[in-house]
Each structure stands twice: as structure tokens, then as C-alpha cells.
Amino acid sequence: MCSVSRLNLLGRIKASSLLRYTLLHTAIVLVLCGSALWLVKDFSLGFYEKRQDQFVQEQLNSLSSLAKSSTEQEFRLAVEQLAEDNRQVLVVLKSSDGYLGNLNYLPETVPLSPSMGSFWILGDSVLEDGRFQRVRGSRINSRWGALVLAYNSSDFNLFVSRFTLALYAAMVLVLLVGLITGFLFSRKVLARLNTINQVTAQVGDGELAARVPVTQQGDEFDELAGHINHMLDQIEASVEAIASVTSSIAHDLRTPLSRLSIKLDGYLRKGSADAEDILGAQAELATILHTFNAMLELTKLEYGQGDLEFVQCDLSKITSEVIELAEPLAEVREQTLSLKVEQALVVQGNHQLLFRILFNLVENAIKYSPEGSEVKVIIDQSSVSVIDQGKGIPEAEQDKVFQRLYRLDQSRTTPGHGLGMSLVKVVADLHGAGVSFVRNRQTFTVKLTFH
């Protein structure tokens, strides 16, 4: 078995769902936050940029029409005026005798209106690193020379850079918070899985009594814990039953086997064995074989091995055959044996098996009730009841009598194999019938109810 604990630490971290869930959670949070911030940026800054482009185009349009209607002198004055009046406007006119406006050069790369292009300028920014600014502008070729107009967005650029910085800071914060919460959340969930893991590992190592703690929350983990605990209860019960059956087998077989051994020793000492001796030994062997066969048969019946013939069975008819066979036993104990059929009961079943379990029940009634008492069998529309006047089965042991080789008599001296009631139970199950016990003041009833 490859235990997780044998892997190295790094391997464990990699294999653990904790890391994967934490990262997944963080990634989701990051994507969501990133999209939200991107939308905010696009809507606010993008909108502002469009407004700037619009402004540039409007200014260029009016300059363009002015150039058509004015003299060169008037146009130059208008450009100078615009450059001086409006801090937002960057304008440069390339005239025959140099550059006019508030820029000292006309960048040739700027596209013609209405296209917009961006270019570098060296501005007068308050910030050390803000001397160079990227601005957006457009160009017209008027009859008085080429003109480029741009929006002086140094303030805006500063705002954008601050905004972007805030954006990244927010993302880093989200990343950190996401990692921490993701880690805590995943750890909490996985801690509970770990307790379940540990318990199952303990059980795997043989500690059958270990149980998963169940909290008060009643969530899926508690449900899982409940199922696991139930399963462990079942396993523990099965293991106990096997242990008990094993010791019972050992006990039941030891007595006849040791008797056989003693007998054979005696024959050896005597130097010979007559027919009677051999018959005695054979009888011991027969007892042992009978026990084995009975157990094998039970197992076969229980696990549905072998083909069983199911036919319509009249239970009153079977019961009268049983009573006929048991009559001599009752006579020995001076008991009266009677059958009362209140209503005929016909079921789908195996005649031979039904006969055997009814015989078992009647035989038990005869065996365990006092001499001279009365054993009655009553058949009604759905059940067969065997009523005797014995002391019956104590309530605490009523479940256990169906176990293999279980004996009410703990000394195991009363003759029997402790398999009779087991057979009753198995056959009743095969026929979809239930077995119940009813204790009255003077009588004890075993009732087979067919559904």
C-alpha cells in the first residue's frame, strides 16, 4: 500500500487539494476583480479619451474653415491666440519662416484629420519623470501651412498613471486577500476530510473501534461521517459474529473429536476394536459431518447457491406431516401435540425447506417445554404459530438465536447444533416471511408471518 505520509513534503503539497483549491479560488477572484477594474477603466478613461479626440477634431475643423476665409496674417494670429489662451491645446503651425504656436516643432508622423495619432512631447511637468508626455493629435494641411493640434493631457496622463498604479495595487491586494481566504477556506474544508482520512487509515490498520467524529452542523461531511460510522458498525458486528462462530465451531467440534481421539486411544491400548466400538466412533464422525453439512447448506441457501424449486405449498398439509413425524417425540415427553387450521394458507415456496423449518420449530417446542405440557400449532390466513408452555427465549437473546451455532444453553450440553434457528431465519427470508416471538404469561409463541 502506498501511504500518502511516505511521500516527501513537496510531493504532499503538490498532491494536496489545498494548494489547488487555493490557487483556483484566487484565480477566480483575480479574474473577476480584473474584469471589473478593466470595465471601470475602459468606461471612465476611455470615455475621457474619446472626449479629448472630439475636442481636437472640433478645434481643427474651426481652424480649417478659418484658414479658408482669412489672410495668412489673421490665421497666424488666431493660432498664436489659441496657443496662448488654452492650456489644454498644443498647436504648431509650420509656416514659411519657422514654427508657430506652443510647440517648437511639427512632428511629421501625425496623421491627417480625422485620423488621430500619438506622439511624444517634452512638456513642463511638475514631476521629474514626467518631462516626456505622450499626447494624441491630428493634422491639417491648410493653405497657410501644415498644422498639428493635440490635447495637452499631461494632467490626464498623470491621472492615468496614478489610476493604473491604484489598479495594480488593488489587484495585488486582491491576490493577497484571495490567497489568504482561499487558503483558510480550503484548509477548513480539508481539515474535516483529513479527520475522516485518519479514521479510515486507523481502521485499515486494524483499529475497528475507531469512529469519525460527527459535528452538530449536519452538513455533507457529517452525512459522510455518519455513513462511514454505520459501515464500521456493520463491519465490526460482522467481525464479531465471525469470531463467535469460529469459537463455537471450535468448541462444538472439540468435544466429539476429543471423544473420538480417546476412543481410538482405548482401542489401541486394548489392541483390538469390535464392531460396537467402530459404530461408536462412526457416530461421533457422523455428528461432526452433520454439523459441517448443516453449515454448508445454510451458507448455500443464504447466498442463493443451488437451484431451489418453488411451487404452491399448502402449509396446513405440510404442518400435519410435521406433526405426524413429531408425534413420537411428544409422546416420550407425555406432551399433547395439536394442529388448528383457522384458514387455509397456501404460499409459493419450497416444500422440503418449509417442512424442515416447521419441524425444527415443533421439535424445539417439544424439547424446551416441560413434560406433560401442550404444544399447539395454529394456522391463519397469513401465519403459522407454534405455541408451547416452555420458558421461551429471553428478550435480550431473541436476535442472537439466529446466529450460527448460538446456544441459549451457554454450557452447550443440551443436544443440538445451534443451527436450527439459523435455518429457520434463512428459509423464512428466502420465502419473504418474518419470524417473531410473543411471550405470554403461560405460553411462548414463535410466529412465521408470510407477506
Residue 56 beta carbon to other proteins: minimum distance, rounded to whole angstroms:
15
> Dihedral of CA 267/273/278/279: which sign?
negative
CA distance 61 to 295: 108
Give SS3 for 6: helix
CA distance 121 to 91: 12
Contacts of other proteins in 230-269 (CB under 8 A)? none
Residue 156 beta carbon to other proteins: minimum distance, rounded to whole angstroms:
15
Q: What's 121-149 look like in SS3?
A: EECCCCCHHHCEEEEEEEEEEECCEEEEE
What is the Cβ-side half-sphere exposure of residue 434, based on CA atoms within 13 angstroms?
5
Residue whose C-alpha is closest to residue 73's, from 147, 144, 140 = 144
Which is nearer to other proteins, 89 or 419 (by Cβ)?
A: 89
Residue 108 beta carbon to other proteins: minimum distance, rounded to whole angstroms:
7
The answer for residues whose C-beta is within 8 angstroms of residue 248's C-beta and 6 or more apart is 404, 405, 406, 407, 418
Contacts of other proteins in 96-125 (CB under 8 A)? 98-99, 102-109, 119-124
Which is nearer to other proteins, 150 or 232 (by Cβ)?
A: 150
CA distance 277 to 270: 11
Which is nearer to other proteins, 136 or 351 (by Cβ)?
A: 136
Residue 81 beta carbon to other proteins: minimum distance, rounded to whole angstroms:
15
Which is nearer to other proteins, 130 or 280 (by Cβ)?
A: 130
CA distance 207 to 199: 9
Which is nearer to other proteins, 76 or 263 (by Cβ)?
A: 76
Residue 90 beta carbon to other proteins: minimum distance, rounded to whole angstroms:
7
State how beta strands 374-379 and 98-101 pair.
unpaired
Residue 66 beta carbon to other proteins: minimum distance, rounded to whole angstroms:
22
Residue 74 beta carbon to other proteins: minimum distance, rounded to whole angstroms:
22
Residue whose C-alpha is closest to residue 121's, from 86, 160, 78, 92 = 92
Residue 87 beta carbon to other proteins: minimum distance, rounded to whole angstroms:
10
Helices (H), 340-403: 351-368
Helices (H), 333-438: 351-368, 420-430
Residue 150 beta carbon to other proteins: minimum distance, rounded to whole angstroms:
9
CA distance 418 to 401: 8
Residue 83 beta carbon to other proteins: minimum distance, rounded to whole angstroms:
9
The contact mask relative to other proteins for 128-147 (x = CB under 8 A, - = no) is -x-xx---------------
Cell of 139: 493634422
Number of residues that bind other proteins (CB under 8 A): 22
Backbone phi, then psi, for 417, in 5-degree steps?
-110, -10
Q: Which stretch binds other proteins (CB under 8 A): 41-49, 95-103, 292-300, 423-431?
A: 95-103
Which is nearer to other proteins, 98 or 206 (by Cβ)?
A: 98
Which is nearer to other proteins, 124 or 307 (by Cβ)?
A: 124
Q: Which stretch binds other proteins (CB under 8 A): 29-37, 49-57, 127-135, 284-292?
A: 127-135
Contacts of other proteins in 63-92 (CB under 8 A)? 90, 92
Which is nearer to other proteins, 119 or 159 (by Cβ)?
A: 119
Which is nearer to other proteins, 109 or 217 (by Cβ)?
A: 109
Q: Does 434 help bind other proteins (rule: CB under 8 A)? A: no
Cell of 161: 498613471
Which is nearer to other proteins, 78 or 393 (by Cβ)?
A: 78
Q: Is 160 exposed, middle or buried (0-12, 13-18, 19+ CB in 10 A)?
A: middle
Residue whose C-alpha is closest to residue 82's, from 66, 105, 98, 106 = 66
Which is nearer to other proteins, 108 or 265 (by Cβ)?
A: 108
| Residue keyed to cell 429457520 | 424
Vertex 277 angle, CA 271 and 278, to 5°: 100
Other C-beta atoms closer than 10 Å to the C-beta of 93 total: 26
Residue 40 beta carbon to other proteins: minimum distance, rounded to whole angstroms:
26
Alpha carbon 230 to chain centroid, angstroms:
15
Which is nearer to other proteins, 90 or 423 (by Cβ)?
A: 90
CA distance 421 to 404: 8
Chain residues that interact with other proteins, rule: CB under 8 A = 90, 92, 98-99, 102-109, 119-124, 129, 131-132, 152
